[in-house]
Structure 1
Amino acid sequence: MHKISTDTLFIGRKLIYVPICHSTNDIALDLLHQKTPEEGTTVITDHQTAGRGQRGNSWYSEPSKNLMFSLILYPKFLPLQQQYFLNIFISLAICDTLSQWIGSGLKIKWPNDIYFLDRKIGGILTENSIKNNALEYSIIGIGLNINQTNGLPEGASSLGNITGSELNLSELFNNLVVHIEKRYLELRAQKFDHLRAQYLNNLYWYQEEHVFSNGNYFKGIILGVDSGGRLMIETQGTVKSFDIKEIKFIN
């Protein structure tokens, strides 16, 4: 992975390879505390021993089998109330890429998991810094199950399991950063309606009735995501918005 070259203008052009680390997000944060890395700087590893997900979940990955990296961005152009678009653009870029290998069936499970059918194949952890009421920087951590076929958590899968073959990690990474850059430039151009429409088109359980829990089980229909990034669900004729710790998907 340390010999990757990218076909981009700035995303992934500055590549920092570490064979093993606790968390690529932590390394990216250390870099930001030491200096101002150029935008698009990417920290990538073969083995992450303490990867983090949302809700404080851990992310286990078999060494040298998957893609694990963190991207440093400076989205100061993005209004604070639009910061959830960082999740939107990056999840769309991942779907753009993986669909070339596995076709249809890819979905974005709110807030930031990537699913194939009903199985998780990837996750995103976005950590933003706000200064003077504006976005200072963002670290976007991405973990994708690629060639790992054993030891996956319950409910998870990988591209290897789906396709029945082993993929070239360098080729897939290069393809991914090309799509990340394309989607990020759309975000810079403030194509919010375009990005939101495509996000909803790829949203898991969108406009379907399912069972959720907020401490109590209830049936509802996902209508989208509000301006604060909360999940909007219609239940019993009322639309309610839920934050990440306030709602669970049941069936």
Structure 2
Amino acid sequence: MHIIKLSAIDSTNTYLKKLCAEMPVEDYTAVITENQTEGRGQMGSVWSSQSSKNLTFSVFKSLMGFQVEYPFYISMVASLAVVKALEGFAIPKLHVKWPNDILAENKKVCGILIENVFKQGQYASTVIGMGLNVNQTEFENLPKASSLKLISGRSFDLDEIAHNIIEQLKFYFEILKCGELTILKEEYESYLFRKNKPSTFKDAEGSLFLGIIKSVSDTGMLQVLLEDDVVKEFDLKTITLLY
């Protein structure tokens, strides 16, 4: 794998996408920075990280030869790659909070931002950005955030974690390329945070309601069992899980 290390950059995703537009980039090329000044999360949120203490990187993957009917499976691949890599470091109680936040002991340790690239109307490649809290120990005004060090009591080598995540990305992308969607979906759902547990949600208007997460659709919609025994699908813009 080809790894580009930068001391500081506005966004590793933006850097890698520009690089792809300018020249051929080999699969699993990764851009890692010690300090990301304009990190982005889902829905335009900002990802903040202390310099040199966390793993902030983006990975390029060509989608040539893939039948990408349901792009949410790329999100499943990325989520599973992080979870499996962290399991290898004995991080406990790992879950995926839909769609692709990684939790450990019910605290967020990793955010994922996926940006797909199209050419001639087809999925050509994807850039997967990850912000993983590793050795940071203070999260001011972020009560739901934590890090691998806070959870385990150990410090970690950032390069070793990055290497393991990339190896897991290779493994799960191979499953995706083979069209084994059922395998990916079942494994993803096995880590789904609060699956089959009564939970409180907030809708786009700010109203609260109760429901039970049952599954995720092929298109990435969250399928929730409501009080009237009806399963309804929600997308990321219309529902927030409160926990």
What is the TM-score when the length of structure 2 is the normalising length? 0.94
Does the residue aligned with 1:205 lie in a helix, a strand or coil? coil
SS in 2 for 1:86: helix
Is the Cα contact below 8 Å between 1:79 and 1:134 reproduced in 2? no
CA distance in 2, matches of 1:246, 1:102: 35
Partner of 1:71: 59
Structure 1 unmatched ranges of 5 or more: 1-12
Question: Counterpart amino acid of 2:237?
Answer: K
Q: In the TM superposition, what are the counterparts of 1:94-105 in structure 2 within 5 Å?
A: 94-105=82-93
Report the CA distance shift for 1:101/1:78 in structure 2 as closer, same or farther (over 3 A).
Answer: same
CA distance in 2, matches of 1:62, 1:151: 9
Q: Are 2:139 and 2:145, in contact at CA under 8 Å, matched by a contact in 1?
A: no
Checking the alignment, whether the CA contact within 8 Å between 2:198 and 2:210 is kept in structure 1 is yes
> 1:159 — aligned with what?
148
Of residues 111, 114, 118, the one that matches 2:102 is 114
Q: Verify: 1:226 aligned to 2:202, yes or no.
A: no
In angstroms, what is the RMSD of aligned CA positions? 1.4
Mapped to 2, the partners of 1:145 and 1:117 lie a distance apart of: 14
Q: Aligned residues, how many?
A: 239
How far apart are residue 103 of structure 1 and its match? 4.1
Matched, 1:217 2:205: no
Could you tell me how far 1:121 is from its partner in structure 2?
Answer: 0.3
Within 5 Å, give how 1:1-251 maps onto structure 2: 13-151=1-139, 153-214=142-203, 215=205, 216-235=207-226, 236-251=228-243
- 35-44 vs 83-92, which deviates more? 35-44
Distance 2:119 2:103 in 1: 33
- How far is 1:174 from its partner? 1.8
Normalising by structure 1, what TM-score? 0.91
Work out the CA distance in 2 between the residues paired with 1:179 and 1:129.
22
Q: Does structure 1 conserve the Cα–Cα contact (< 8 Å) formed by 2:91 and 2:148? A: no
Determine what percentage of the aligned residue pairs are the same residue: 33
